[in-house]
Structure 1
Amino acid sequence: MIPDLGIPHIAFHLPQHIDDVRSWGKRTQQNIATVLNLERAGMRYYRSANGQTAIGLAASAIQRLLLASGIAPREVDCLVYVHTLQGSVAPPPQSLPGVLCDRFGFTNAEAFSFAQQHCASALAALRVIRALFIARPHMKRVLLAGADVMPLTSERLMQAEGILGDGAFAAFIERDAPVNRLLAVTTHASGLGWRGVLANEESRLAAQNFLTARSLIRQTVQQARFTLDDIQRILPHHLDLPAWHRLLDSLQVPQDRLFSENFARIGHVTVSDAFINLAQCHGLVPGRPLLLFARGVGGFSAAALLVR
């Protein structure tokens, strides 16, 4: 039997240093077309860790989560850490999830990391966490945390879609939680984008990403026995805002249901976009579903349907 899970508490941490796309373009000697394409994609600003580490960002997000929720460390049954960049984990024989458990006193928690689906890993991890709850009936609470820091400023470019920013999130996934109940999670992996941002196949991959997102959103909504008309908000990853507008038109979903405020204000924070948006999307109506979506380089996508 699939347990009733919810996400009652969410926190995030963004570095204080805010950079803008035009300054980044000058420093990294980008041509003006690249900068204009990024601005057309909705990008204006992004956060830079400016010397902070991924573990430092993750710890800040977890600290905020614990303070806001009032949950004691001994009440955490499991910690799942997600990331995209290889530099966002501690080198062997260290374990970044283990370091976090030691730092916060999660003495009862198992811990592991999950990164194989890149920026879609945070939502894809919900499937793994749901399986844990099914296999372990006594499990009550999982802490899902994610963080990334881009080591090279010049490598932040995601072709014409956006800029990789630094940041972290933390969320509690709980059995029988009354809010943000998890109704469905779907994932997709194609392998077509295996070369990632190194590939010069932007138009072909963009078309494939569009079709995949449309199919995955429909599949997720149908799996929960809702219709697209029922969705009150779509919380997207912060890449290629015009493509999101085209996607909603294709799905015949009103544009005002897209939570797009954080595209220009925050930018793309790798694995954290969906949960940052969930924490900041106010005015949600109880009892109505909302959809979270993420896409990672390499042909990975994930969607999750929640009900407020």
Structure 2
Amino acid sequence: MTTSSLSHDGAQWLGIEAVAYELPGAPVDIESWAAERGYPARRAAAIAQSGSRYFHMALDTSETDLAIDAVGRLIDTARVRPGEIGAIVHVHTQAFSVPPAPRSLPHEVAAHFGIEPLWLGSVAQLNCVSVASGLETVDALMRRFPQLDAAVIVSSDRVYGEDFRMRQMSGVQCDGAAAMLVTRNCTKNRLGRIAIRSHAKWYGGSDTVADNEADLIALEWPYTRKAIEAAVAFEDVALEDYDLLLPHNADLPGWNSLCRAMRLPQERLYAANIYSRGHACCSDFPINMADVGLDALASGQRVLGVMQSNCGAYAAVTLHPVARHAN
């Protein structure tokens, strides 16, 4: 496990200035979708009972177009000029959620908006936890380049073939993209600690090594808890003082059990997007930040974001209102 302290030494810190996302089309009900396509009704019902009912489909939209739409919304929302964006960090889960070589998703995003960054590239090895690694990448870049004051983390994933949308019994994959503007000395909030825990046995993906889904769950929640405990342990803030928990958007019963085990009031778990959005891979964290996280921080609450993957990686990140942050 690695634990990172993002740049904040009293004189410098990082924060999430703004977030935007793109979820294509109208929400789709999983049981109606399964019935229309002849997929197993029992499996669709089990996923709905796990808390995941709605998702979005991008049947005719590429992952690059989704990313461009999300970044465009971010630029409009944050009122940031493209010339102010000094880095683009692209994160994704699915190996095929990128255009074929020699094309480059972050390069095409930059070219579309006339952004000329000091650095651009992709992070993908940790699947849905890659967004946490993306935050670490921005931190490292800002340490390296003192002239870099603003970076965009863009995430984009979609299913290739509807047969693969119901990969698990605890959630449904949603097509979508998101973009976060991370700034130096943000006046809205501060990023605190990131803890990433990785279990090597699952490096090839749980689908390739698990005998059944119970094998994955046996590891999933203990390692999720360890990542949360590690991120919190390096702060001067107790777990019970975090006001909002932003989850990976799947498996509501699992999250409820984790809250009980960690003695966190379940009303602090933001569960609405598990039901209404589906699991948008790396975009879950920014989507939840856009919907409730930034407002919670603006109102003085502390936020804990949690990420899970199917390749044995788990992460947690702490976020604080600027006025309440413990140096």
- Quickly name the TM-score band, shorter chain normalised: over 0.9
Counterpart in 1 of 2:296? Answer: 284
Query: Once structures 1 and 2 are overlaid, which stretch shifts more, 22-31 or 51-60?
Result: 22-31
Counterpart in 1 of 2:241? Answer: 230
Kept in 2, the 8 Å contact 1:66–1:72? The answer is yes
d(CA) in 1 for partners of 2:125 and 2:37? 29
Counterpart in 2 of 1:296? Answer: 309
d(CA) in 2 for partners of 1:248 and 1:46? 25
TM-score (structure 1 length as normaliser):
0.95
Gaps of 5+ in 2: 1-5, 322-327
Deviation at 1:174, TM superposition (A): 0.4
Counterpart in 2 of 1:80? Answer: 89
Alignment of 1:105-254 (within 5 A): 105-193=114-202, 194-198=204-208, 199-254=210-265
Counterpart in 2 of 1:10? Answer: 19
3-state SS of the aligned residue for 2:307?
Answer: strand
Q: Find the partner of 1:271 among 270, 282, 289.
A: 282
Aligned residues: 308
- Aligned-residue Cα RMSD (Å) equals 1.6
Kept in 1, the 8 Å contact 2:50–2:170? The answer is yes
d(CA) in 1 for partners of 2:251 and 2:16? 27
Deviation at 1:275, TM superposition (A): 0.7
Equivalent residue letter for 1:147: S
Q: Find the partner of 1:65 among 57, 74, 79.
A: 74
Kept in 1, the 8 Å contact 2:58–2:176? The answer is yes
d(CA) in 2 for partners of 1:292 and 1:138? 28
d(CA) in 2 for partners of 1:41 and 1:197? 19
TM-score (structure 2 length as normaliser):
0.90
Gaps of 5+ in 1: none
Q: Find the partner of 2:39 among 20, 30, 37.
A: 30
Equivalent residue letter for 1:284: A
d(CA) in 2 for partners of 1:108 and 1:47? 31
Kept in 2, the 8 Å contact 1:17–1:49? The answer is no
Identical aligned residues as a percent: 29
